[in-house]
């Protein structure tokens, strides 16, 4: 019998979780399918693979990563820790709860560094179009190797879509925006707030991007930060010079008018207006669409494409749980593909979807969403051999985290949590978030603070790494 | 016998020329094929359809247009006038030789406004992937209607690629660019230089984009403009505060180091480093690749894809001649499709390509390139019923234009040429290019200058249009 062939689209956290899931099965003596992982970028890590580029990349492809300089995790790392690879195992000592991007990138890449799964990844290779043939029950994947321009057409038994949904900006129009001559970009193309020093900055939106990019602007010395919300303000205890206003009604040159009748002259506008589910390589009958939500329609157990259960999505949800949820999904998808977990018939899947959708729709608030996603992950974990993960403790961390933010939006990243996996208490970072302008892993790991004087010593960083 | 089906990819100047060519045949009583023109944008005009958006558009597709505010034609309009639709016919009176973008957009759109060809265009519809079936000799075009997400798969006898090649930036890396915290973008994402007032601006490149974006920065009050060239400087008589330096060797924060050992602190960097031939919807065996050149490889008579002569490219050349060359190509492609012009066999086509390639490669200088492209257009015109066009006169205009630029790079757009089609001498525009900051068609057409006082009167523009 020939091996099944599986195409994984994307080698970001979700695609890497899928690779890890197969690798884990192989390590346990199981024979795994033939795998091809298509990755547009030259390296793996998805969003966490920072680039200075914006818009289109060196090959003319849409830039994938929306990350910027000085981005630190906006949730405690203890809520996203892998159950099969702890922060302690990777770093060899406690680190703080809110590491900057390069540190998290190092962690997720580190888990796969000592495996051979990189051999499955075709880098700088973009999937152009996928079709499904009813007769053969096979997918044909048309891909292009970007450096050479070579096209390949290959068939697969399964496709795992792990390309993410925070890469294609939702960029609304705004009346008069064509008259604005300052800096204007979507959060996706924002790369750092240093140039906002002394400027009046407007962020449009009231979710994580607006919160953090506004905070970055404040941190980097913007003269003022205004956040414009559509439905309701974020409502944090913002520092001096940071305020919220309702929706934009008109832009006229540098002047922006708001729904409360006020106006403000600004130098820069960053649209933090979210992202689209966009899968340009999928025909409509296979493509997830709709809003960013914790329970997207059309997916059995959040991963199986209901109308064609040979197709899977990993990481398609809006996310409280992240890396560990991707793991739970990837382990389950692996077991479905390998025939270890049973796949119910369409009617049973539909019944299950309806049951969970009803639960989801009854959720009254954000805390309920977190609890719901915890239950969702727990259900997946029960289907597979992924190491045990104390969902309740993670949910508690999320709830404390939300409380921390309410208390001190500019200081919550200086707080510390205890690992659910190892019990290790996070280290106190040497520099408060508000004062730290160097997000390199070298500085992060090498810094020491004298507990008497508070002085920071930075020995040669490279020699310390992993020492 | 069923009608042939023709897919035209793109409704910019080239695709519109193709539509006009078919429309012209139909007007002359010939039966034309079934046509579907796929256009990603919501309106036609291609590059000339300005958008404030950069990077990805409202549907998450790469933004097509590279145009910016206050872009005026950088060549005399007399060199690009349609032979079948004069500026006089469109505007009803003489206009200046270097109109701003909205005026040229109005002109190219105006030619089709009184025809019914818009019915052939599927707007907001992107072509995803095209395959060719050797057995049926048909192309299958997979397209997506962006607002609905609906996918269509349709077969065509012919495909005309008219999607242009000034949309996908060639964006090189630069050592240390990730440390630069100012504004950085490719020319493709540049939308206007107003924000450069008082700033030190660097443009990278030495072709049209660098020349014009550097000039825009100067015009809008940049403190300094530096243009960095790789092989040789543009060498114009630049105004005070505008200088050329060799290649960038290193960027360190705001400081840029050049190959001559000098350094300069800059606030903004615009990469004017050209564009890629990129056809993500074509498999490699159908996709043109390589550098931007007046005579691209693999195209018989510059339009027929040698290895599959059912596929055509319009406007794939680097361009001196533009709109009128697209017409000559489109008329010829139309006649090939309709069987009016004969298509030679592969060997004869190859012989022809080699002959012209040899001619092209022997060209010693830029003037030679212009003359060559004139001969290329003349050859096409001889194959079709496109109205007569005095190629020699157009070539003369190009040569004078290059001379004008050498004489006065900040003033050449104030000069006037005589129409090759109608003999009309261009009007003197009411405001010199360097002083004009309003590029609207209303101001352009409505303005009058008192010849005694130099005072500009601007009557209500809308009422004057076409009056």
- Mind listing the pLDDT tens digit for each residue in B252-284? 999 999 999 999 999 999 999 999 999 999 999
**Residue A412 and residue A75: Cα distance in Å, rounded?**
9
**Average pLDDT of the residues of chain A:** 95
State the pLDDT at residue A179: 96
Cβ A446 vs Cβ A458: under 8 Å: yes
Q: pLDDT for A284-299, tens place per residue? A: 999 999 999 999 999 9
Reported confidence tier of residue B457, pLDDT bands at 50, 70, 90: low
User: E strands along A231-337, which residues?
Assistant: 242-245, 248-252, 255-258, 263-265, 268-271, 275-276, 299-300, 304-305, 311-313
Q: Is pLDDT above 70 for A454?
A: no
Reported confidence tier of residue B428, pLDDT bands at 50, 70, 90: very high
Q: Do A151 and B284 touch (CB under 8 A)?
A: yes
Q: Do A168 and B60 touch (CB under 8 A)?
A: yes
- Which of A128, A182, A284 shows the shortest C-beta gap to B151? A284
A21 vs chain B: nearest CA distance in angstroms? 31
Task: Tell me the CB-side half-sphere exposure of residue A245, using CA atoms within 13 A.
Answer: 21
Taking contacts as CB-CB distances below 8 angstroms, the residues of chain B near A66 are none
B285 vs chain A: nearest CA distance in angstroms? 8
Taking contacts as CB-CB distances below 8 angstroms, the residues of chain A near B129 are 128-129, 142
B425 vs chain A: nearest CA distance in angstroms? 34
Taking contacts as CB-CB distances below 8 angstroms, the residues of chain A near B57 are 171
Q: Do A52 and B177 touch (CB under 8 A)?
A: yes
Best to test chain B binding among A143, A181, A275 (most B CBs inside 10 Å): A181
- Which of B149, B150, B168 shows the shortest C-beta gap to A56? B168
Q: pLDDT for A304-335, tens place per residue? A: 999 999 999 999 999 999 999 999 999 999 99
Q: Is pLDDT above 90 for A465?
A: no
Q: Do B60 and A180 touch (CB under 8 A)?
A: no
State the pLDDT at residue B449: 58
Q: Do B56 and A169 touch (CB under 8 A)?
A: yes
Q: Do A128 and B281 touch (CB under 8 A)?
A: yes
Structure tokens given for A249: 């009604």
Mean pLDDT to the nearest integer, B119-135: 98
B positions 113-142 inside 8 Å of A (CB): 126, 128-129, 131, 142
Cβ A36 vs Cβ A6: under 8 Å: yes
Q: Do A52 and B287 touch (CB under 8 A)?
A: no
Number of other residues whose CB lies within 10 A of the CB of residue B366:
12
CA distances from B306 to B155, B288, B381 (A): 21, 11, 20
Mean pLDDT to the nearest integer, A436-456: 77
**Average pLDDT of the residues of chain B:** 95
Best to test chain B binding among A70, A102, A129 (most B CBs inside 10 Å): A129
Structure tokens given for A141: 């994947």
Best to test chain B binding among A58, A59, A60, A290 (most B CBs inside 10 Å): A60
> To the nearest whole percent, how much of chain B has pLDDT over 90?
95
Taking contacts as CB-CB distances below 8 angstroms, the residues of chain A near B185 are 54-55
State the pLDDT at residue B247: 98
B positions 388-417 inside 8 Å of A (CB): none
A50 vs chain B: nearest CA distance in angstroms? 10
B60 vs chain A: nearest CA distance in angstroms? 5
State the pLDDT at residue A463: 44
Q: Do B52 and A180 touch (CB under 8 A)?
A: yes
State the pLDDT at residue B446: 79
A288 vs chain B: nearest CA distance in angstroms? 10
Q: Is pLDDT above 70 for B338?
A: yes
Reported confidence tier of residue A448, pLDDT bands at 50, 70, 90: low
B152 vs chain A: nearest CA distance in angstroms? 8
Q: pLDDT for B210-257, tens place per residue? A: 999 999 999 999 999 999 999 999 999 999 999 999 999 999 999 999
Taking contacts as CB-CB distances below 8 angstroms, the residues of chain B near A171 are 53, 56-58
Residue of B nearest to A190 (CA): B183
Taking contacts as CB-CB distances below 8 angstroms, the residues of chain A near B188 are 55-56
A281 close contact with B: CB closer than 8 A: yes
Best to test chain A binding among B51, B52, B56 (most A CBs inside 10 Å): B56
Q: Is pLDDT above 70 for B456?
A: no
Q: Is pLDDT above 60 for A253?
A: yes
Q: Do A60 and B285 touch (CB under 8 A)?
A: no
| Three-state secondary structure string covering chain B | CCCCEEEEECCCHHHHHHHHHHHHHHHCCCCCCEEEEECCCCCCCHHHCCCCCCCECCCCCECCCCCCCCCECCCCHHHCCECCECHHHHHCCCCCCCCEHHHHHHHHHHHHHCCCHHHHEECCEEEEEEEEECCCCEEEEEEEECCCCEEEEEEECEEEECCCCCCEECCCCCCCHHHCCCEEEEHHHCCCCHHHCCCEEEEECCCHHHHHHHHHHHHCCCCEEEEECCCCCCCCCCCCCEEEECCEEEEECCEEEECCCCEEECCEEEECCCEECCCCCCCCCCCCCCCCCCCCCCEECCCEECCCCCEEECCCCCCCCCHHHHHHHHHHHHHHHCCCCCCCCHHHHHHHHHHHHHHHHCCCCHHHHHHHHHHHHHHHHCCCCCCCCCHHHHHHHHHHHHHHHHHCCCCHHHCCCECCCCCCECCCCCCCHHHCCCCCHHHHHHCEECCCCCCEECCCHHHHCCC
Please indicate, yes or no, whether the overall pTM of this predicted structure exceeds 0.90: yes
Q: Is pLDDT above 70 for B154?
A: yes
Cβ B353 vs Cβ B406: under 8 Å: no
A368 vs chain B: nearest CA distance in angstroms? 32
Q: Is pLDDT above 80 for A467?
A: no
Q: Is pLDDT above 80 for B453?
A: no
Q: Is pLDDT above 60 for A430?
A: yes
B147 close contact with A: CB closer than 8 A: no
Taking contacts as CB-CB distances below 8 angstroms, the residues of chain A near B289 are 149
Reported confidence tier of residue A460, pLDDT bands at 50, 70, 90: very low
A339 vs chain B: nearest CA distance in angstroms? 32
Mean pLDDT to the nearest integer, A356-381: 97
Taking contacts as CB-CB distances below 8 angstroms, the residues of chain A near B133 are none
Structure tokens given for A464: 């310390």
Reported confidence tier of residue B2, pLDDT bands at 50, 70, 90: confident
- Which of A181, A188, A280 shows the shortest C-beta gap to B194? A181
> To the nearest whole percent, how much of chain B has pLDDT over 70?
95
A positions 187-216 inside 8 Å of B (CB): 188-189, 192, 194-195
State the pLDDT at residue A447: 66
Residue of B nearest to A194 (CA): B181
Q: Do A276 and B60 touch (CB under 8 A)?
A: yes
B289 close contact with A: CB closer than 8 A: yes
């Amino acid at each position: 019998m020939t091996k099944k062939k599986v195409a994984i689209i994307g080698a970001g956290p979700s695609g890497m979780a899928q690779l890890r899931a197969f690798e884990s099965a192989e390590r346990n003596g199981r024979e795994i399918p033939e795998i091809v992982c298509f990755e547009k970028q030259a390296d793996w890590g998805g969003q966490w693979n920072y680039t200075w580029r914006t818009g289109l990349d060196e090959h003319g492809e849409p830039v994938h990563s929306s990350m910027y300089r000085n981005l630190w995790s906006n949730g405690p790392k203890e809520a996203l820790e892998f159950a099969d690879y702890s922060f302690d195992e990777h770093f060899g000592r406690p680190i703080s709860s809110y590491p900057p991007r390069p540190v998290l990138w190092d962690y997720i890449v580190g888990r796969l560094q000592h495996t051979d799964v990189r051999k499955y990844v075709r880098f700088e290779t973009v999937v152009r179009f996928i079709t499904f043939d009813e007769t053969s029950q096979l997918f044909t994947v048309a891909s292009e190797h970007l450096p050479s321009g070579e096209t390949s057409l290959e068939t697969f038994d399964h496709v795992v879509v792990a390309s993410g949904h925070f890469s294609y900006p939702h960029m609304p129009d705004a009346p008069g925006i064509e008259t604005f001559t300052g800096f204007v970009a979507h959060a996706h193309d924002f790369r750092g707030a240093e140039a906002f020093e002394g400027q009046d900055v407007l962020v449009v939106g009231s979710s994580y991007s607006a919160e953090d990019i506004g905070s970055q602007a404040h941190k980097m010395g913007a003269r003022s930060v205004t956040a414009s919300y559509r439905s309701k303000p974020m409502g944090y205890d913002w520092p001096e010079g940071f305020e919220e206003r309702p929706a934009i009604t008109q832009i006229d040159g540098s002047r922006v008018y708001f729904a409360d009748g006020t106006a403000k002259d600004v130098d820069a506008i960053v649209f933090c207006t979210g992202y689209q589910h966009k899968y340009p390589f999928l025909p409509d009958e296979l493509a997830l669409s709709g809003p960013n939500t914790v329970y997207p329609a059309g997916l059995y157990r959040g991963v199986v494409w209901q109308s064609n259960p040979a197709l899977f999505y990993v990481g398609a949800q809006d996310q409280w749980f992240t890396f560990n949820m991707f793991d739970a999904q990837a382990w389950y998808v692996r077991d479905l593909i390998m025939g270890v977990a049973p796949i119910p018939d369409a009617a049973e899947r539909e019944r299950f979807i309806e049951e969970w959708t009803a639960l989801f729709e009854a959720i009254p608030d954000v805390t309920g969403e977190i609890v719901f996603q915890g239950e969702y992950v727990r259900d997946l974990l029960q289907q597979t051999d992924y190491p045990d993960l104390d969902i309740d403790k993670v949910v508690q961390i999320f709830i404390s985290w939300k409380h921390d933010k309410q208390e001190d939006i500019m200081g919550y990243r200086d707080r510390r949590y205890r690992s659910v996996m190892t019990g290790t208490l996070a280290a106190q970072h040497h520099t408060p978030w508000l004062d730290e302008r160097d997000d390199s892993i070298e500085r992060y790991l090498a810094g020491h603070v004298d507990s008497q004087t508070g002085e920071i010593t930075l020995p040669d960083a490279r020699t310390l790494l992993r020492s």
